[in-house]
Chain A
């Protein structure tokens, strides 16, 4: 057991809290990011607890990375936060920073959604490490997350490179003890080393075949990043964050992240190389382990990135041939490791036929109103990345096209171009998606003479990630009323011909606005304005109920897709459609679809 003093400095933190603490202890000055499950809370904790650090939710991930790069060039340690799908948006900015001279440490905290918990595509941010030749660190618990966060800034400055700290849905949402130095006092760290920093494109263009390339005017731009990475790879053999545990000689495991702990629990006798730095690899340590054991496995979540890189060193390891990756497996668990490496382990079979849960919209959500108007009038539409995308799932079927954040406006534009505006294919987008990149799609649509209708569902926040501020929100870390952007004014300024703003609860007006906009032979925007019911805890009206005498079980109300309406089986086996009065907000949307007037208040 710990002594009293140690307990006082041990705190329970989840991975997101630990990363925020690490940023504080590293002396970060500027933090910019874009919300994304599971790492959104890193910024929220940083802002709440460490007010010395400037925080902002940027309009998108590319902007966030650029802000961080600027602050880093100014000499101050800076971080950019996003999930891996967000790094795709910011990849161009990161590519610019990679290979260039770094003043203040520059760290990207990027989270992979292993297990597809938030339903994202199956991504692995470590590929960017390979592509851009930059280091990637991967913590396996909260203590590790805090320590590696500090280490990431040191590496960034020592080896003049941006660094990715990769977290996952498991590290972010796992709470474990972290040792805190209670006496730490914050100081923004500053290092003003290079007078210029250019992307490697400019740098190499200037150097290429240039006579007199030894001239100081050119050499001051030059950053020999491959040499830095080689030096880091060599140094990482002796670094504490790559931990070699030589135990039994039968099984050896090379691992990183939480899979280290799964494997450690299932295979207590095995030898381990736990990587804190997964890119570049410590070749000598890997060879040492390979020589020590009979069988060498790589156990890593996500893609086979470590595995491939080790195989490229000419070392043979067993990985995905034993544990095939997606879609066979979405992430490791201790059970998956045990099944393959502990032959006589007892098998456990889950109960069959337990129904799965598709995502559902909150009761009273404005998206439900929009989805139902589109469905009623058989208007074909594209959804965006927003709570409204729940309307794509088979229980709703309101949309026929959905891709990435901010895409729906351009998707509709492309569709209507190809169909020569004969189908009035509509774009639905949230306020978050609109500011993220949707606005680019709208400007493009206007100046290319597009005729599409765009429905912007403005709920005053990024609802899906828990209600963070966007440019048109009436709150936020740096909120000032005079700086709030107006969606309608921006639409007008970029040249939208027809703009209507409606309250979705006035369903007659909503229906009229959408139908009119679709039928107008011009481009148009319908702004559907209602704050997010969950974030802003909107007051509830009297809950509705279904009069079972009048209900004919046509299920029209259940197909509205509201969380409060359920199909319930009674003890006698009969099925009833009922409204859960604890969940119902009394918004009355369901009563508008009932032909029997069975839904009452």
Chain B
């Protein structure tokens, strides 16, 4: 086992399936025999509040349920305002996966706070970390509702990036998603893996040009 473990922050807003994402990931890493600790921080209200999941897997028992700022390997975020909240906690070689979806904060809607002046996607891209941006508008499909299934799109994306067995990950999805949603979720998963394949090919060619 070469990978001794990673610290992941999964972020977004209520209703985006963050807890399902971290649940699927936990099943996958458990099968690989890792120790896990997953801590969910959920704000007030049934919908629309910020949700963050601190996901840690390791070949040794995990101590702190919260990941210290500076120790995060991956930020996986389904909402780009939330992405910005966690950028500072990444390691130098940490990687960001972020959807461009945005749910305007209540405080901005109510004019208690000003909207951020700069384009958030650009701010994320400009960070010193390696970033992968997924625009749900760009990848809309008649086969599944991407706004509902961005979590599983991201799971496919992440699995491709990590070089994991898609068969194993898809099995985890099949085992843990209600039967009537499996078909749509598998389409979403494949989409995510396909986007990642295309993106990784360009990134690699870009870096080889430098």
Contact = CB atoms under 8 A, between A and B. Distances in A.
**Chain A facing B: main interface SS:** loop
B62 A176 contact: yes
Contact of B81 (A258, A354, A358, A571): A354
Contacts of B40: 173-175
B110 interface: yes
Interface stretch (A345-353, A408-416, A469-477): A345-353
Contact of A261 (B50, B64, B107): B64
A351 B64 CA distance: 24
Interface size class of B (residues with CB under 8 A): 35 or more
B65 A170 contact: yes
Contacts of A333: 66, 68
B91 to A, nearest CB: 11
A95 interface: no
A598 interface: no
B133 interface: no
B39 A170 contact: yes
Given A174-B39, A351-B85, A360 B45 contact: yes
Contacts of B36: 12, 175-177
From A141, A358, A580, name the one whose CB has the most chain B CB atoms within 10 angstroms: A358
A92 interface: no
Contacts of A558: 109-110
A463 B147 CA distance: 25
From A115, A350, A559, A575, name the one whose CB has the most chain B CB atoms within 10 angstroms: A350
Contact of B115 (A261, A363, A466, A569): A569
A7 B32 CA distance: 12
A248 interface: no
A503 interface: no
Given A262-B66, A334-B68, A350-B88, A568 B38 contact: no
Interface residues of A, number: 64
B70 interface: yes
A262 B64 contact: yes
Contact of B116 (A348, A354, A390, A395): A354
B20 interface: no
Interface of A: 1-2, 7, 12, 115, 117-119, 141, 170, 173-177, 258, 261-262, 264-266, 333-335, 338, 346, 348-351, 353-363, 387, 390, 393-395, 463-464, 466, 534, 555, 558-559, 563, 565-569, 571, 575, 580, 582-583
Interface of B: 13, 26, 30, 33, 35-50, 62-66, 68-70, 81, 84-85, 87-89, 102-116, 119, 123, 147-148
Given A176-B38, A354-B85, 17 more contacts: A12-B36, A174-B40, A177-B35, A350-B69, A353-B114, A355-B81, A359-B43, A359-B49, A360-B48, A362-B47, A390-B45, A393-B106, A394-B110, A464-B46, A559-B110, A582-B147, A583-B47
